């Protein structure tokens, strides 16, 4: 029987290798970012508004581009990720750009052991929840870090989108579960979402599906009050072969008759 530690270790090896791929090959447009540190999208920018002098905790920050973007906008940012390579690169970026940001290397479930603060804003986004096995526990950790009167915001890929076969190049074909089946999904595939042609040594990954009801009800049960819930027919990433990029920078399904929610956002307060 595979243990949770094995899932964690396998995913960590994968993400540590992705840091090198995503930075060395400029998959994240790092050259442009170094000139103008802003990797944020209109969805989160419009939802959170002015963050000047607000304390902000960024959960699962990869190598810190969004964290530094929030800090550039005036927030006092603390950011975490479980990838030691990601946090190492984030600290390097912070120094090069002279944008003070406090980075922590930690599994999100262990974060309460190393961080004991409350924040005006807790933020997470785009591809974070898939890697988490326990959403109710995650929601309790999120709520614990939101100060009274503070805000939690998540912009994330829609779980409805997650059921489709992303290797089918012509149509929407259901392949994966929508509801959490308890056991993780296992993949052994080459490439990265940012670079499909990347040659990786650590191809194995484990991930979990989570329904919207699980996500929303977990946040409510953890003591947060939902202020807004939105669904979007577009994505920040090229997730399917038959998506097209619009003038606004977002990707949509080419066939508008098949329009589906590709992302969602939740804004909650405490």
Q: What is the pTM of this model?
A: 0.94
User: Measuring CA to CA, which residue among 203, 262, 238, 217 is closest to residue 43?
Assistant: 262
C-alpha to C-alpha distance for 33 and 66, rounded to whole angstroms? 10
SS3 label, residue 89: helix
Contact status, residue 28 vs residue 65, Cβ threshold 8 Å: yes
Q: Which residues contact 17 (CB under 8 A, 6 or more apart)?
A: 200, 201, 202
User: Helix (H, G, I), strand (E, B), or coil: what is residue 87?
Assistant: helix
Work out whether the CA dihedral 63, 188, 171, 265 comes out positive or negative.
Answer: negative
Superfamily of domain 4-28+39-269: Vaccinia Virus protein VP39 (3.40.50.150)
Beta strands per DSSP E along the chain? 55-58, 76-81, 102-105, 119-125, 146-157, 185-188, 204-207, 225-232, 243-245, 251-253, 263-269
**Rounded CA separation 132/129 (Å):** 5
- The number of C-alpha atoms within 13 Å of 244 and in the hemisphere containing its C-beta is 7
Q: How far apart are CA 91 and CA 134, in angstroms?
A: 29
Angle of CA points 210, 233, 23, to nearest 5°:
70
CA-to-CA distance for 15 and 186, rounded, in angstroms? 15
In angstroms, the CA 182 to CA 208 distance is: 8
Going from N- to C-terminal start, the domains of the chain cover 4-28+39-269
| The total number of residues written for the chain in this structure | 270
- Tens of pLDDT, residue by residue, the chain (270 residues): 556 789 999 999 999 999 888 887 667 888 889 999 999 999 999 999 999 999 999 999 999 999 999 999 999 999 999 999 999 999 999 999 999 999 999 999 999 999 999 999 999 999 999 999 999 999 999 999 999 999 999 999 999 989 998 888 788 889 999 998 888 999 998 777 766 677 788 889 999 999 999 999 999 999 999 999 999 999 999 888 888 999 999 999 987 677 889 999 999 999
Q: Which residues contact residue 88 at a Cβ distance below 8 angstroms, ignoring those fewer than 6 apart? A: none
């Amino acid at each position: 029987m595979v243990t949770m530690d094995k899932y964690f270790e396998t995913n960590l090896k994968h993400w540590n290798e992705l840091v090198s791929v995503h930075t060395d090959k400029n998959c994240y447009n790092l050259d442009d970012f170094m000139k103008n540190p802003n990797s944020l999208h209109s969805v989160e920018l419009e939802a959170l508004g002015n963050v000047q002098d607000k304390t902000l905790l960024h959960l699962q920050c990869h190598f810190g581009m969004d964290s530094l973007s929030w800090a550039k906008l005036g927030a006092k940012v603390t950011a975490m990720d479980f990838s030691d390579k990601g946090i190492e690169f984030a600290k390097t970026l912070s120094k090069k750009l002279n944008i003070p940001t406090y980075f922590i290397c930690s599994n999100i479930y262990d974060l309460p052991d190393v961080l004991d603060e409350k924040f005006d804003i807790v933020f997470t986004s785009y591809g974070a929840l898939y890697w988490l096995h326990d959403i109710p526990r995650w929601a309790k950790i999120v709520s614990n870090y939101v100060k009274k009167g503070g805000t939690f915001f998540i912009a994330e890929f829609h779980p409805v989108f997650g059921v489709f076969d992303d290797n089918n190049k012509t149509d929407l074909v259901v392949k994966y579960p929508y509801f959490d089946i308890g056991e993780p999904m296992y993949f052994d595939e080459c490439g990265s979402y940012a670079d499909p042609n990347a040659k990786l040594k650590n191809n194995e990954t484990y991930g979990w599906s989570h329904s919207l009801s699980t996500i929303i009800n977990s946040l409510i049960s953890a003591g947060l009050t939902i202020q807004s819930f939105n669904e979007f027919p577009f994505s920040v990433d090229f997730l399917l072969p038959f998506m097209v990029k619009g003038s606004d920078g977002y990707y949509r399904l080419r066939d508008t008759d098949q329009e589906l929610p590709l992302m969602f956002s939740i804004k909650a307060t405490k």
